[in-house]
Amino acid sequence: MTDNLSEDDRLILDAIGKWLNQKVKPVAMRLEHDDEYPHDLVEDMKELGLFGAIIDEEYGGLGLSASTYSRVVTLIAEEWMSLSGIFNSHLMMATIVQKFGTQRQKEYWLPKFATGEIRGGLALTEPNAGTDLQAITTRAKRVGDKYVVEGAKTWISNAIQGNCVALLVKTDPSAEPRYQGMSMLITQTKTAPDTDDHLPGVRNGKKLEKLGYKGIDSGELIYNDYECSADLSLVGGEEGKGFYMATGGLEIGRINVAARSVGIAKRALRESVAYAQSRKTMGKPISEHQAIQLKLGEMAAKTRAAELLVEDAARLFDLGQRVDMEAGMAKYFASEAALYCATEAMRIHGGYGYSKEYPIERLFRDAPLMCIGEGTNEMQRIIIAKQLVKRNPV
Ligand SMILES: Cc1cc2nc3c(=O)[nH]c(=O)nc-3n(C[C@H](O)[C@H](O)[C@H](O)COP(=O)(O)OP(=O)(O)OC[C@H]3O[C@@H](n4cnc5c(N)ncnc54)[C@H](O)[C@@H]3O)c2cc1C
């Protein structure tokens, strides 16, 4: 869909479409199966401006609207979802600076984030704190004009190949309520991405092996006496705001996971529609068997509904509205649609769905992550319900 797009947005989507066809399609399957980091594709992504996709133009980004950004994400996820994680997690870090940072922080970090000279992600999760973020124990102590950080994060996308993260910490561990003692620091971990040149006081733990989402690294970060400048690192220059930055402030993160989910669902549907017409049983294409038609019909309806929910959330976001509920609905529905469509695509493809020669098994492994990332789907429904009650008081 390219309706309501400016000429510039259209050109960007066209360029990405060509790149996906020419450069990504031929290598995605091999890189994914080998769990190999796509260094060459990341260089292309820098040139395409993807690391600055939603960073304002005054800081060197493309300044895309959420509507266009979500289409870019869907397009890329349709070819290889892992690639979208490499720039989306990075852009969550950038969004925190752009939305909540001081002027000096924006001027210092955003141009480097936009080019991909500094790349990274968002480090919230710890071994004993995922959904319950207020239970984190990573501690940052103010010492003069610096913070000294101790603690460990896990499951962090881009923790190994990247060189910077937005780090959720406790600056006042005894605060009550707990969220008031939480702050966000931008911490550079290495001199440059794609190196092992760690800054003093921070190192990577193990690279985590996972079911899907291959190619992109998910890793641990361990801070021990790590020092960073308070002026550049403490986002917004004020302690106690980190929890809000990590949760309420990142509706765009949910729109992005929803958009990735639409990509997975669309690919599962596309592959299934084609396969169902070419595979014959009992003398006719399986697309003529009602059992398969029921699956295709359900997949098509869910995919389109998911796409429309994403468009709706992105449109309202672009109008400057608070969209916790809409982004939550899009994320919840689209990720469940992706999981449904990937599973049905597997059945439609029969034994070939289980084969590594077809992309279906990859969609089947990638889809469940969409139900976990950016707030699990259990939490999304709770967020939707709370917003619903708040917006409709009796
Ligand atoms: C591939 C991958 C990449 C990731 N990337 C990142 C990243 O870049 N940065 C980052 O910070 N984290 C990342 N994560 C971590 C992810 O955000 C967490 O896994 C997620 O938030 C869930 O936390 P948890 O795994 O600790 O599960 P838990 O919080 O232990 O939840 C377990 C189950 O209990 C349910 N549950 C928990 N609390 C409640 C409640 N109050 N009410 C109802 N149900 C509840 C959950 O929905 C879930 O079903 C990543 C994870 C994966 C798998």
Pocket of ligand 1 contains residue 138 by CB under 6 Å: no
Q: Which atom of ligand 1 is nearest to the CA of 378?
A: 47
Of 115, 130, 161, the residue at which a domain comes to its end is 115
HEC string of 67-120?
HHHHHHHHHHHHHHHHHHHHHHHHHHHHHHHHHHCCHHHHHHHHHHHHHCCCCE
Q: Are residues 183 and 220 in the same domain?
A: yes
pLDDT band at 3 (very low <50, low <70, confident <90, very high): low
User: What does the pLDDT read at residue 1?
Assistant: 47
What range defines the domain where residue 78 resides?
Answer: 7-115
Count up the domains in the chain and report the number.
3
Please report, to the nearest 10 degrees, the dihedral formed by the alpha carbons of residues 6, 11, 17, 23 taken in order: -150
User: What does the pLDDT read at residue 116?
Assistant: 98
Q: Are residues 276 and 145 in the same domain?
A: no
Q: Kindly state whether residue 2 falls inside one of the protein's structural domains.
A: no
Where residue 263 falls (left for φ over 0; alpha for ψ -120 to 50; beta otherwise) is alpha
Q: Kindly state whether residue 357 falls inside one of the protein's structural domains.
A: yes
Pocket of ligand 1 contains residue 59 by CB under 6 Å: no
Where residue 202 falls (left for φ over 0; alpha for ψ -120 to 50; beta otherwise) is beta
Q: Kindly state whether residue 156 falls inside one of the protein's structural domains.
A: yes
Q: Are residues 74 and 139 in the same domain?
A: no
The Å distance, Cα 283 to ligand 1 centre, comes to 48
The Å distance, Cα 375 to ligand 1 centre, comes to 7
* Separation of alpha carbons 360 and 268, rounded Å: 7
* Separation of alpha carbons 106 and 337, rounded Å: 37
Residue 160 CB coordination number (10 Å) = 24
Of 189, 211, 243, the residue at which a domain comes to its end is 243
Question: To test ligand 1's pocket by mutation, which of 132, 376, 378 has the most ligand atoms within 8 angstroms of CB?
Answer: 376
Residues 372-392 have pLDDT tens digits of 999 999 999 999 999 999 999
Q: Are residues 238 and 269 in the same domain?
A: no
The Å distance, Cα 372 to ligand 1 centre, comes to 6
Q: Which two tokens stand for residue 63?
A: 């300044």
Which residues are tagged catalytic? 374
* 166 burial level (CB within 10 Å; 0-12, 13-18, 19+): buried
Residues 75-130 have pLDDT tens digits of 999 999 999 999 999 999 999 999 999 999 999 999 999 999 999 999 999 999 99
User: What does the pLDDT read at residue 89?
Assistant: 95
Pocket of ligand 1 contains residue 89 by CB under 6 Å: yes
Residue with the smallest CA separation from ligand 1 atom 31 is: 131
Instruction: Please name which of 39, 23, 32, 30 lies closest in space to residue 161, comparing C-alpha atoms.
Output: 39
DSSP string spanning 320-342? T---HHHHHHHHHHHHHHHHHHH
Q: Which two tokens stand for residue 159?
A: 């923790």
Q: Per the confidence metrics, is the pTM higher than 0.95?
A: yes
User: What does the pLDDT read at residue 2?
Assistant: 47
Q: Kindly state whether residue 1 falls inside one of the protein's structural domains.
A: no
CATH of the domain at 162: 2.40.110.10
Residue with the smallest CA separation from ligand 1 atom 17 is: 373
Q: Are residues 387 and 258 in the same domain?
A: yes
* Separation of alpha carbons 333 and 220, rounded Å: 30
Classify the C-alpha dihedral 348-352-358-364 as positive or negative. Answer: positive
Residue 279 CB coordination number (10 Å) = 15
Q: What value does the mean pLDDT of the chain take?
A: 96
